[in-house]
């Protein structure tokens, strides 16, 4: 990927899946994608319990439906965001405009930092609601492993999204200065 801008090769190059899979930000995105599946999957599958004495299901996190709702919502939206940015990673080498590449990298920085924050809030919220849950609400400890898994993978997601943002910042800083070079020397930029 020599001579490219914002961490990509020359625009219009052939798609190379091997190179895509070996990039650290792509690996982190796939890991974040898997973590989001674990979080929303564990809450959806075992995060709601129903008592024989009640007709409605209740959330395993202190009977707080907002806690389960937050975990599922953040998990599903993070899943979709990972898919969107994986598609952008595939399409990124085909972007010919340096300004468009810059916008893509800047959006990656902002979105990744935002998701790190949302996962931090989610971890704190789920851990707090789990801590104040009453044992009498769940005497058989149903769904406890799933609840703990959602909390743990929310915690891990903070780091994967933070690292993704840091890699995007590094990608932004490791410019080839093609944009500046073209601005300073417009005649030499053309063949």
Average pLDDT of the segment spanning 122-140? 88
> Residue 14 burial by CB count (10 A; 0-12/13-18/19+): exposed, middle or buried?
exposed
Phi, psi values for residue 59, rounded to 5°: -75, 140
104-123, pLDDT tens digit by residue?
999 999 999 999 999 999 99
CA distance 184 to 165: 30
CA distance 21 to 5: 19
For the full predicted model, state whether its pTM sits above 0.85.
Answer: no
14-39, pLDDT tens digit by residue?
678 888 899 999 999 999 999 999 99
């Amino acid at each position: 990927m020599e001579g490219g801008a914002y961490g990509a090769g020359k625009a219009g190059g052939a798609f190379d899946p091997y190179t895509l899979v070996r990039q650290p930000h792509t690996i982190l995105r796939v890991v974040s994608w898997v973590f989001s599946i674990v979080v929303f999957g564990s809450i959806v599958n075992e995060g709601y319990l129903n008592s024989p004495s009640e007709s409605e299901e209740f959330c395993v996190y202190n009977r707080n439906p907002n806690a389960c709702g937050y975990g599922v919502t953040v998990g599903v939206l993070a899943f979709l965001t990972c898919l969107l940015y994986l598609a952008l990673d595939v399409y990124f080498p085909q972007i010919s405009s340096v300004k468009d590449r810059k916008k893509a990298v800047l959006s990656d920085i902002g979105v990744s930092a935002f998701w790190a924050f949302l996962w931090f809030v989610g971890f704190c919220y789920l851990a707090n609601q789990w801590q104040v849950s009453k044992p009498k609400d769940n005497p058989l400890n149903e769904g406890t492993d799933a609840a703990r898994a959602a909390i743990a993978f929310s915690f891990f997601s903070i780091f994967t999204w933070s690292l993704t943002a840091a890699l995007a910042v590094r990608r932004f800083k490791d410019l080839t200065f093609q944009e500046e070079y073209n601005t300073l020397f417009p005649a030499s930029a053309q063949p």
